[in-house]
Chain A
Amino acid sequence: MSAAADEAPSLNVELLGADERRHRFAMFGLSVPALLLVALVLLAPFSWLTWLSLFDASGALSSENYARLLRPAYINSFLSTLEVSALVTGICVLLGYPVAYLLSQLSQRTAQILLVFIILPFWTSVLVRTYAWLVLLQREGIINTWLKQLGLISESLPLVNNLTGTVIGMVHVMLPFLILPLYSSMRAIDPVYLKAAANCGASPAQAFRQVFLPLSAPGLGAGGALTFVLCLGFYLTPALLGGGRVAMWSTQIADAVSKFANWGAASALSVALLVVTSLILLLMRWGVQRLGTSVGEH
């Protein structure tokens, strides 16, 4: 009797284990198409890209393509790409955080209506939006003309064909990418926590800083990282609104392909961008985790 009772659970464990394995195997089987797709459209091209970057124009194995990245023109555009991306991400955070916060405090219904206005620009082509900024910002554009008619300025402000115009255009394109993940993470924060903080004697500012901000940090990190990474590869807006002054890494890649037909150089530039992007993402993840814990400890 007791022997049988001992046997039964072990038999059960075995059966359960087999079942579990079968289940996992089936799940793996289901994800095979997706894995194949990723391998086909991501890993294979990326390996090919890396392979290409190892050969010079004559087809010999060389480090020429990577050595060129250290030349001043490339270092300059690399630093400027990081600078522009950081600036745009920073402004997006400053503008986007309050908007996401407001949305998260409103009723679900009102928030959904307001969200439409944030998603609306997604339905317009980036090209059209960029040209619209050109019309608004240029020397004889709408903004400068109004400011002059109001007597606020006598000479037109240089608002476009420089860094200012590029950043304005990029922030406009990028803002939804920051607000949406941030909003969904803020929605998930239970308001009871804030009430609990108030019950413990926290002022609204304290409750926000010590409870809400750390809890929204993962969303902020995700949105910020997404924005920053998308900025790193931005081509169209800087090319149209930068007036040739804003050197972006993507412009160098495009030139290497279309102006010089130098696939090796273009590949090396792309590999470098991908590696740096990955490093920055890792760094950001680490930073956000620290932010989440350290603010929470106070």
Chain B
Amino acid sequence: MHLRRFAFAGLIGTAAICAASSAFANDTLTVAGLGGNLQKDLSATLWQPAAAGAGVSISEETQDGIAAVRVQVQSGSPTWDVVHLGADECAVGGKEGLFEPLDYNVVKSDGFDKKAYGKDWIATNTYSVVLAWRTDAYKDKHPTSWKDFWDVKAFPGRRALSAYPQEMMEITLLGAGVAKDALYPLDTKLALERLKEIKPNISVWWSSGAQSAQILKDKEVDMMAIWGSRVASVIKDGAPVEFTYQDGLLGYGCMAILKGSKNVAAAQKFIAGVVSPEIQARIPEMMPYYGPSNSLAFKVGKFSPEVLAKSNMSPENVAKQTPIDTNWWRDNSELVREDYSLLMSN
């Protein structure tokens, strides 16, 4: 009899523990990023402190872009709550209705560029596309802007651009003398003409970040357009390479909540934390060559001159660059890509 009662109590106890743990599980957000070092850095710098601040725990997954997100949402019950993507993909997803609207009473957009958030997504970090060159190829005078990239007489040598038109169309137009604030809508006709001119001097159209770093490090090219984070690692490896933020392009990484997520309220709080100035202020030191998307980060944080010189978003460096208009790319990407790929291979 006693034994049976004891067993019964044990059963109730077990049930209670199960109930408690499942209640706890509701406060676990599943965050899917693009994997690799970027996700590791983002998690340590932004996601973990933001989750702690919002009182939730996060479990991480990886995905490979908007196609995977679309499949998740179409399934009706997504297993991810929040995704980290490139901002052009967030803009596409928003247009397709893949995301829950962000509650801008919870998520504060003060300190953000207008191009850095939408109805249902917000930028969580920035990256730069910059002009980099081999110092052993340009000893006396090095290129300083995209105009020099197109000047093959003054700066001979092999060049590289990305195999995807985003950012490349912009730098082409900047090289052609188009003013920064008159870039959008992009004059694609002019850009394609100018690209055709430089094409004989382009020896590689790179299609991945790893490849872009490799061709610069191995001296396959002398001058190129490359992501700031990638060129930083090449310099760190000891290659004779320099770069400038002058005329750079600022792109965004972004976050959004998947439509059908069961943790929308917690996800709003989590994202609010990720973009808050205090947490954003961790980026310049923990992820140099990426930048905070919230400019207030430089108000709340105190940084050494070295950190400021490296950060692509420090007030001095940000003034040299142009933010990408993700909405323009959302609407034009596919056709521009066709023209661009035809130009590369023809």
Report A's interface with B, CB cutoff 8 A: 71-74, 76-77, 80, 134, 138-141, 158, 161, 239-240, 243-247, 252, 255, 257-262
The answer to whether A245 and B220 have CB atoms under 8 Å apart is no
Closest 7 CB pairs of A and B: A244-B205, A247-B345, A73-B338, A244-B163, A261-B67, A243-B204, A73-B342
Q: Which residues from B are CB-within-8-Å of A73?
A: 338-339, 341-342
Interface string of B38-70 (1 = CB under 8 A from A): 000000000000000000000000001111001
Q: Which residues from A are CB-within-8-Å of B66?
A: 261
The answer to whether A71 and B219 have CB atoms under 8 Å apart is no
Q: Which residues from A are CB-within-8-Å of B206?
A: 243-244
CB distance from B338 to the nearest CB of A (A): 4
Q: Can you identify 7 A-B contacts, CB atoms within 8 angstroms?
A: A74-B338, A76-B345, A139-B203, A161-B215, A247-B341, A260-B337, A261-B67
How far apart sit A72 and B341, CA to CA, in the bound complex (Å)?
10
Interface string of B157-183 (1 = CB under 8 A from A): 010000110000000000000000000
Interface string of B68-107 (1 = CB under 8 A from A): 0010000000000000000000001000000000000000
The answer to whether B67 and A161 have CB atoms under 8 Å apart is no
The answer to whether A161 and B204 have CB atoms under 8 Å apart is yes
B300 at the binding interface (Cβ < 8 Å): no
The answer to whether B204 and A261 have CB atoms under 8 Å apart is no
The answer to whether B218 and A140 have CB atoms under 8 Å apart is yes
How far apart sit A258 and B211, CA to CA, in the bound complex (Å)?
18
Q: Which residues from A are CB-within-8-Å of B204?
A: 161, 243-244
The answer to whether A243 and B203 have CB atoms under 8 Å apart is yes
The answer to whether B67 and A139 have CB atoms under 8 Å apart is no
The answer to whether B337 and A255 have CB atoms under 8 Å apart is yes
Q: Which residues from B are CB-within-8-Å of A161?
A: 203-204, 215, 220
Q: Which residues from A are CB-within-8-Å of B92?
A: 261
CB distance from A85 to the nearest CB of B (A): 15
B16 at the binding interface (Cβ < 8 Å): no
Tell me what chain A mostly uses at the interface: helix, strand, loop, or mixed.
loop
Known contacts A239-B207, A240-B211; A261 and B220 CB within 8 A of each other: no
Q: A134-B214, A138-B215 are in contact. List 8 more A-B contacts (CB 8 A).
A: A77-B345, A138-B218, A139-B218, A139-B220, A161-B204, A243-B203, A260-B333, A261-B67
CB distance from B70 to the nearest CB of A (A): 5
The answer to whether B344 and A247 have CB atoms under 8 Å apart is yes
Q: Which residues from A are CB-within-8-Å of B344?
A: 244-245, 247
CB distance from A66 to the nearest CB of B (A): 16
Report B's interface with A, CB cutoff 8 A: 64-67, 70, 92, 158, 163-164, 203-207, 211, 214-215, 218-220, 333-334, 337-339, 341-342, 344-346
CB distance from A252 to the nearest CB of B (A): 8
How far apart sit A154 and B125, CA to CA, in the bound complex (Å)?
46
How far apart sit A154 and B104, CA to CA, in the bound complex (Å)?
63
The answer to whether A261 and B342 have CB atoms under 8 Å apart is no
The answer to whether A246 and B219 have CB atoms under 8 Å apart is no
How far apart sit A14 and B342, CA to CA, in the bound complex (Å)?
68
Q: Which residues from A are CB-within-8-Å of B65?
A: 258-259, 261
Kindly report which residue of chain A lies nearest to residue B162, judged by CB atoms: A244
The answer to whether B163 and A140 have CB atoms under 8 Å apart is no
Kindly report which residue of chain B lies nearest to residue A245, judged by CB atoms: B345
How far apart sit A260 and B333, CA to CA, in the bound complex (Å)?
8
The answer to whether A77 and B341 have CB atoms under 8 Å apart is yes
CB distance from B71 to the nearest CB of A (A): 9
Q: Which residues from A are CB-within-8-Å of B205?
A: 243-245
How far apart sit A54 and B232, CA to CA, in the bound complex (Å)?
46
The answer to whether A80 and B345 have CB atoms under 8 Å apart is yes
CB distance from B181 to the nearest CB of A (A): 28
Known contacts A243-B204, A260-B334, A261-B92; A140 and B220 CB within 8 A of each other: yes
CB distance from B344 to the nearest CB of A (A): 5
The answer to whether A139 and B158 have CB atoms under 8 Å apart is yes
How far apart sit A77 and B345, CA to CA, in the bound complex (Å)?
8
The answer to whether A138 and B220 have CB atoms under 8 Å apart is yes
Q: Which residues from B are CB-within-8-Å of A141?
A: 218
CB distance from A177 to the nearest CB of B (A): 26
The answer to whether A140 and B67 have CB atoms under 8 Å apart is no
CB distance from A72 to the nearest CB of B (A): 6
Known contacts A158-B203, A243-B203, A245-B205; A257 and B67 CB within 8 A of each other: yes
How far apart sit A74 and B214, CA to CA, in the bound complex (Å)?
29
Q: Which residues from B are CB-within-8-Å of A258?
A: 64-65, 67
